[in-house]
Amino acid sequence: MTATATSKNKPTESPDGPSPAGEGPIIQAIQVQKIYETGDLRVPALRGVDLAINRGEMVSIMGPSGCGKTTLLNVLSGLDDISDGQVIIDSATVNTMSDRRRTRYRAEKMGFVFQAFNLLPVLSTVENVELPLLVAGVKMGEARRRALEALELVGLDGHAVKRPAELSGGQQQRVTIARALVNRPAIVWADEPTGSLDSETSRDIMDLLCRFNKEHRQTFVIVTHDPGVARRGDRLVMMRDGLIESDEPNHSES
């Protein structure tokens, strides 16, 4: 609790990249509870989750449907509020931040990859990728340059002016990854990143995520149903009924 109080007013870090490894957990969940209330109905989705993820780690979260995986990802990333407990990201207590500060924090430190891609259909590929940079206040020319670089990194340099609808599912997910990484965030949250893809494309996508994790030492938190995907992480967290059932290092080969 004291740590939370002291970290509250700490200025957020530069978005240029993650801090060097070895400074303790970048993500910390302390007794996190999340209860959904619909009228008189109270549905506990998280029932006191404790979790710590170190900088540069790639953590997979698995569990049956409704166990609270996505909810955990949402509350850790600040997309959702918690009912009780504490979420500390890079020494800053996210759950007590104002919506405005939390949004800015997300823009600076986090990237997202979702199963449904969630690309903006009205923007071209490169425009989708440069969007987080523009939100962060990067100048237009610079943003375009970095977006094109990111597209090149994910192997889509020839598709910059295409609209999402003109791309295959795998290509769309690559665009999502480029968009998630273009800001060089400290943490990338991925919710079922291969859920809509065939096995071969899934493998390509996971190769890509692992490569970035290794090359840039960015922290990856991946929620998945797919044991194949889960095995690619450094750690495997198993959830059941809103609690962490097991949290073990992953010894399988990536």
Contact 178, 113 (CB under 8 A): no
Residues 6+ apart with CB under 8 A from 130: 143, 144, 146, 147, 182
74, 86, 202, 219: residue in contact with other proteins (rule CB under 8 A):
74
Residue 166 CB, nearest approach to other proteins (Å): 12
Residue 238 CB, nearest approach to other proteins (Å): 22
106, 146, 232, 235: residue in contact with other proteins (rule CB under 8 A):
106
Q: Which is nearer to other proteins, 136 or 243 (by Cβ)?
A: 136
Residue 216 CB, nearest approach to other proteins (Å): 19
Q: What is the DSSP string of 87-101?
A: EEETTEEGGGS-HHH
The piece of 47-55, 128-136, 209-217, 222-230 that touches other proteins (CB under 8 A) is 128-136
Residue type, 56: G
Q: How far is 145 from 148, CA to CA, in rounded Å?
A: 5
Q: In which element (H, E) is residue 8 found? A: none
Q: Which of residues 221-240 bind other proteins (CB under 8 A)?
A: none
Q: How far is 157 from 77, CA to CA, in rounded Å?
A: 29
- Helix and strand numbers, DSSP H then E, in the chain: 8, 10
Number of residues that bind other proteins (CB under 8 A): 33
Q: Which of residues 170-209 bind other proteins (CB under 8 A)?
A: 179, 191
Residue 70 binding other proteins, by CB under 8 A: yes
Residue 104 binding other proteins, by CB under 8 A: yes
How many other C-beta atoms lie within 10 A of the C-beta of residue 231? 17
Residue 122 binding other proteins, by CB under 8 A: yes
Residue 90 binding other proteins, by CB under 8 A: no
Residue 210 binding other proteins, by CB under 8 A: no
Q: How far is 87 from 93, CA to CA, in rounded Å?
A: 6
For 229, how many CA atoms within 13 A lie in the half-sphere containing its CB? 30
60, 77, 91, 93: residue in contact with other proteins (rule CB under 8 A):
77
Residue 35 binding other proteins, by CB under 8 A: no
35, 52, 134, 243: residue in contact with other proteins (rule CB under 8 A):
134
Q: What is the DSSP string of 241-254?
A: TTEEEEEEE--S--
**Binding-site ranges for other proteins (CB under 8 A):** 70-71, 74-75, 77, 79-80, 99-100, 103-104, 106-108, 112, 114, 116, 118, 120-123, 127, 131-132, 134-137, 140, 165, 179, 191
